[in-house]
A and B are shown apart, each in its own frame.
Chain A
């Protein structure tokens, strides 16, 4: 390997994606019509909710290939950098690769320029990546992320939702993506209180994922046997922090206890 030095005018600047293309370490998009019927692994439901100190992001752990569960503990919520996170739904392979490239893009920019991008700048970068992915999306490898972060310049949490064409939409209260997003966002919508605290918001996203898993076969619920819980993270002025599995377990247990109590402990639909 030699040092990548470029002539002025030919210099990729702080853009890692174009640097990687320039030196040929990323493959080009699949060109001709790839049969859309090939089974690719899909990741599913993610939500992000704003709360008093920032944003909570959460995603279930299931990946499916058609009717099959292909992975029980993949992760769909990632730190993008210290003060932001990205969650993905869609074709798992390209999505995880997009996240990797996005994380590097932000870090690379910060190192080359000596200062991090603004939150808006990061959201726009992700939008460009989704747009560049459009040819692959047209062939069935759709990737739809959500991006959330703490805007250190303004001192508040912000959320961005995307579509497959790279459209970027800033949301005020919550955002969701993936096959279970309809159920999850309904739960969040009903339970959302402006200025809620961290604990209430973590409970809300867990309940949202729980209900999504209840209705959508591609969304995984909490797995108390294998100890698999959703990835939940808070992003505040202190940065991106993952919520521990022990806390998630006890919160799920109280959610389940609450649901059981609501039904009066009577089994329904079975032999009584």
Chain B
């Protein structure tokens, strides 16, 4: 019997990370940012039906980029975890931090133990209750290897994250209205040499002031009119 080739752990991890990164870079990017009325999630997504952004719970949204079947599986697991927790305890006890930790555990586990890492980057966003003391909007960015980053103000997912982050950092400011926030997000996604129409975007918000379920999809006509208004 032949002995398998020796591969150093460093090399193994690097190969896996490269593989995952390549897979993620093939898809298009997504931004989430805090605005006056809550959290805005905006993805470049030409599909009308396959969603990158969706609802997890009353105040929690999920966004994913990379391989669709993989982040959709994570999304469903998140909905299940949240609904079960809310059923067993109380709706107030469901929070983004716990969920983000669970996701990080799972992605980290898959990255080190499975044949193939998941080619996804995901975001768990939670909008703070208005008037709740000490509560802030939370954006948890989780990478393919389980790295969990707690981001403030905005978060960018996808292959071109660095360039988009830079553009967003220059234009984002606190307390933007929805229209201006969407304008900032779309310009950051598109860059200088192209523009994105409403049909190429998937937009949703976590509306801070909603009575219970804060997640709301913003449809194409509304996106177009918001963009026109933002200029």
Binding site for B on A (CB under 8 A): 1-5, 16, 19-20, 23, 25, 100, 104, 107-108, 111-112, 114
Contacts of A100 in B (CB 8 A): 87
Q: Which residue of B lies closest to A16 (CB)?
A: B83
Partner of A1, one of B73, B81, B83: B81
Query: Smallest Cβ distance from B120 to chain A, in angstroms?
Result: 14
| Contact between B103 and A3, CB atoms less than 8 A apart | yes
Partner of A114, one of B54, B86, B98: B54
Contacts of A104 in B (CB 8 A): 83, 86-87
Contact residues of B between 27 and 79, Cβ < 8 Å to A? 51, 54-56, 73-74, 76-79
B85 within 8 Å of A (CB atoms): yes
Consensus secondary structure, chain A interface: helix
Partner of B79, one of A2, A20, A23, A108: A108
| Contact between B103 and A111, CB atoms less than 8 A apart | no
| Contact between A3 and B78, CB atoms less than 8 A apart | yes
Known: A111-B54, A111-B79, A114-B51. A23 touches B103 (CB 8 A): no
| Contact between A20 and B87, CB atoms less than 8 A apart | yes
Bound together, the chains give a CA A107 to CA B212 distance in angstroms of 12
Contacts of B84 in A (CB 8 A): 1, 4, 19-20, 23, 25
| Contact between B88 and A25, CB atoms less than 8 A apart | yes
Known: A25-B87, A25-B88, A104-B87. A3 touches B81 (CB 8 A): yes
Contacts of B213 in A (CB 8 A): 107
Bound together, the chains give a CA A20 to CA B55 distance in angstroms of 20
Contacts of B83 in A (CB 8 A): 16, 19, 104, 107-108, 111
B106 within 8 Å of A (CB atoms): yes
Contacts of B102 in A (CB 8 A): 1-3
Bound together, the chains give a CA A20 to CA B185 distance in angstroms of 39
B80 within 8 Å of A (CB atoms): yes
Q: Which residue of A lies closest to B99 (CB)?
A: A3
| Contact between A4 and B81, CB atoms less than 8 A apart | yes
Query: Smallest Cβ distance from A199 to chain B, in angstroms?
Result: 25
Contact with A along B130-154 (1 / 0, CB 8 A): 0000000000000000000000000
Contacts of A25 in B (CB 8 A): 84, 87-88
Query: Smallest Cβ distance from B217 to chain A, in angstroms?
Result: 10
| Contact between B105 and A4, CB atoms less than 8 A apart | no
| Contact between A2 and B105, CB atoms less than 8 A apart | yes
| Contact between B55 and A111, CB atoms less than 8 A apart | yes
| Contact between B56 and A111, CB atoms less than 8 A apart | yes
Contact residues of B between 193 and 213, Cβ < 8 Å to A? 213
How many contacts A-B (CB < 8 Å)?
54
Bound together, the chains give a CA A127 to CA B81 distance in angstroms of 26
Query: Smallest Cβ distance from B69 to chain A, in angstroms?
Result: 12
What are 17 A-B pairs at a CB distance below 8 A? A1-B98, A1-B102, A2-B102, A2-B105, A3-B74, A3-B77, A3-B80, A3-B81, A4-B77, A4-B80, A16-B83, A19-B80, A19-B83, A25-B88, A112-B76, A112-B80, A114-B51
Bound together, the chains give a CA A19 to CA B81 distance in angstroms of 10
Query: Smallest Cβ distance from B140 to chain A, in angstroms?
Result: 14
Query: Smallest Cβ distance from A241 to chain B, in angstroms?
Result: 12
Contacts of A1 in B (CB 8 A): 81, 84-85, 98, 102
Bound together, the chains give a CA A16 to CA B81 distance in angstroms of 11
Contact with A along B85-108 (1 / 0, CB 8 A): 111100000000010001101100
Query: Smallest Cβ distance from A5 to chain B, in angstroms?
Result: 5
Q: Which residue of A lies closest to B217 (CB)?
A: A114
Q: Which residue of A lies closest to B79 (CB)?
A: A111
Query: Smallest Cβ distance from B43 to chain A, in angstroms?
Result: 15
Contacts of B77 in A (CB 8 A): 3-5
Contacts of B105 in A (CB 8 A): 2-3
Known: A111-B56, A111-B79, A114-B54. A5 touches B87 (CB 8 A): no
Contacts of B51 in A (CB 8 A): 114
Bound together, the chains give a CA A16 to CA B83 distance in angstroms of 8
Query: Smallest Cβ distance from A204 to chain B, in angstroms?
Result: 28
Bound together, the chains give a CA A104 to CA B77 distance in angstroms of 16
Bound together, the chains give a CA A16 to CA B82 distance in angstroms of 11
Bound together, the chains give a CA A113 to CA B51 distance in angstroms of 11
Contacts of A2 in B (CB 8 A): 102, 105-106
| Contact between B87 and A112, CB atoms less than 8 A apart | no
Bound together, the chains give a CA A114 to CA B51 distance in angstroms of 9
Q: Which residue of B lies closest to A110 (CB)?
A: B55
| Contact between A5 and B73, CB atoms less than 8 A apart | yes
Contacts of B88 in A (CB 8 A): 25
Contacts of A114 in B (CB 8 A): 51, 54
Bound together, the chains give a CA A20 to CA B87 distance in angstroms of 9
Beyond A3-B77, A5-B73, A108-B79, list 5 extra A-B contacts (CB 8 Å).
Answer: A2-B105, A16-B87, A25-B87, A104-B83, A107-B83
